[in-house]
Chain A
């Protein structure tokens, strides 16, 4: 039947952002819980003690979701001297870009548009929209904190984008393809890229720490210096949209890392393999989140010029080594790399 693939695509297109959001909520909860536990305090309850269950429910794992829902029904205030079009449209633009990006990311093998040839390029381009819209929204909010935060966001974006793109393309060069589904397939037939090109994995991980605004790079939202930066003036529904964007972003980054470097969960074969693959995919994502949260807990915050200088040293060097490594491996083991 010709209509069946259409229904399948439509189902995947609707469920991909929803799953991305829900898993993003789970990963946000994990960040908060691990951050708290590393400081010897308890985070939001995973299982609420019985004395408080009538008041708080069984589990507080959906706490990030409750925060977003609370924001969505509050009043939205727009500053009178702000540029209203830019201010209002920036969060929605980021949300649409990320939703489209989730259509291209394979979730344990399932992807809305199948094996699109240039999905890697599309994804990297679309998630660039998030910091850009922060810059636009912050600068258009007519508050000095927004302007300062927008400036810092732009500088930080310049810093981490280069190692990110070079690192991911190093893996793509080794796999000889720009399609995420093919990169995952390539790893399934050989080793995951975290073993084949560890330098790329390190560079991309460090870039993701900056992209997700985790310490030491939460500079644009430094609350003791600039009172929440570009999102200072957002409130109510617009702030809810901003929080949804950040929740989906953490899933997108974890999923991207898992697909490119950890074989995307597709290690099993057999009858129940789809279920195991999904579970492994989620577990791999939470492992990435754990390490990001570990870095988040162990560091203070850099100053923006120090952060730019740091990104121009270790991550950039590592990503260039990864690129050279990719070419060297391709040159030295041609039969291993090229097609099977």
Chain B
């Protein structure tokens, strides 16, 4: 009968001298004064502009439809709408080039006048143009990444041949590749 009451009395008197409140720093970047922010906290996204290839994988797998891809004449923009994002991190998991990362920045409230467009996290990649007809084809970084992946995984006996061919037809869109394959000597008949 008395055990619980004595325990409560002891507990409140211990609490009198030791408060567990951790002060929230007013306006400082998290991580400096917090007791702990664990490593895996999922906050605002950050693109590595050199690695992003504009493939749109993040947009396809996004659980809430927050990521959109938009093409203009010259560039492709990947936009993440932070208001719709549920910070699940599937986009980070699926990105083939590891260009998208969820940082621990979780203080995302902002004032519209000070940060216009703060609701979006955007990344733009430049679209390469076809040397033959002039329309936009793939993003430039995509082409570089494709070449790297192709040559990594291909058999060493044909690597140089494929590298040489790739340098030629990377400058053309799919239709022009078809039309000009004979002139550019990228057609397969050269092998027989």
Residues in A lying within 8 Å of B, measured CB to CB? 34, 37-42, 49, 51-52, 55, 294, 297-298
Chain A nearest Cβ from B41, distance in angstroms: 24
What would 6 more interface pairs be, CB under 8 Å, given A52-B26, A294-B12?
A: A37-B19, A40-B20, A40-B21, A41-B21, A42-B21, A298-B9
A52's closest neighbor in chain B, by CB?
Answer: B26
Residue of B nearest to A40 (CB): B15
Task: Write the chain A residue with the least CB distance to B27.
Answer: A51
Contact between B19 and A42 (Cβ–Cβ < 8 Å)? Answer: yes
Closest to B16 in A: A37
List of B residues within 8 angstroms of A38 by Cβ: 12-13, 15-16
Q: Which residues of A contact B13 (CB under 8 A)?
A: 38
Q: List residues of chain A with CB within 8 A of the CB of B25.
A: 51
Residue of A40, A51, A298 near B18 (CB, 8 A) is A40
Determine chain A's interface SS by DSSP, over half rule. Answer: helix
A49 nearest in chain B by CB position: B23
- When distances are taken between beta carbons in the complex, the residues of chain A under 8 Å from B18 are 40
Task: Provide the bound-state CA to CA distance between A297 and B13, in Å.
Answer: 11
B9–A40 CB distance below 8 A: no
Q: Does B8 contact A (CB under 8 A)?
A: yes
Residues of A within 8 A of B15 (CB): 37-40
A-B contact pairs, 24 of them (CB 8 A): A37-B15, A37-B16, A37-B19, A38-B12, A38-B13, A38-B15, A38-B16, A39-B15, A40-B18, A40-B19, A40-B20, A40-B21, A41-B19, A41-B20, A41-B21, A42-B21, A49-B23, A51-B25, A51-B26, A52-B26, A297-B12, A298-B8, A298-B9, A298-B12
Whole-angstrom CA separation of A29 from B130 in the bound complex: 75
CA distance A289 to B19 in the complex (A): 21
A38 CA to B8 CA in the complex, in Å? Answer: 10
Complex Cα distance, B23 from A51, in Å, reads 11
CA distance A332 to B18 in the complex (A): 49
Least Cβ–Cβ distance between B25 and chain A, in angstroms:
7
- Chain B residue numbers with a CB within 8 Å of A40 are 15, 18-21
Within 8 A of A (CB), among B96-139: none
Query: Shortest CB–CB separation between residue B164 and chain A, in angstroms?
Result: 64
Least CB distance, B15 to chain A, in whole angstroms: 4
Residues of A within 8 A of B9 (CB): 298
Which B1-42 residues have C-beta < 8 A from chain A? 8-9, 12-13, 15-16, 18-21, 23, 25-26
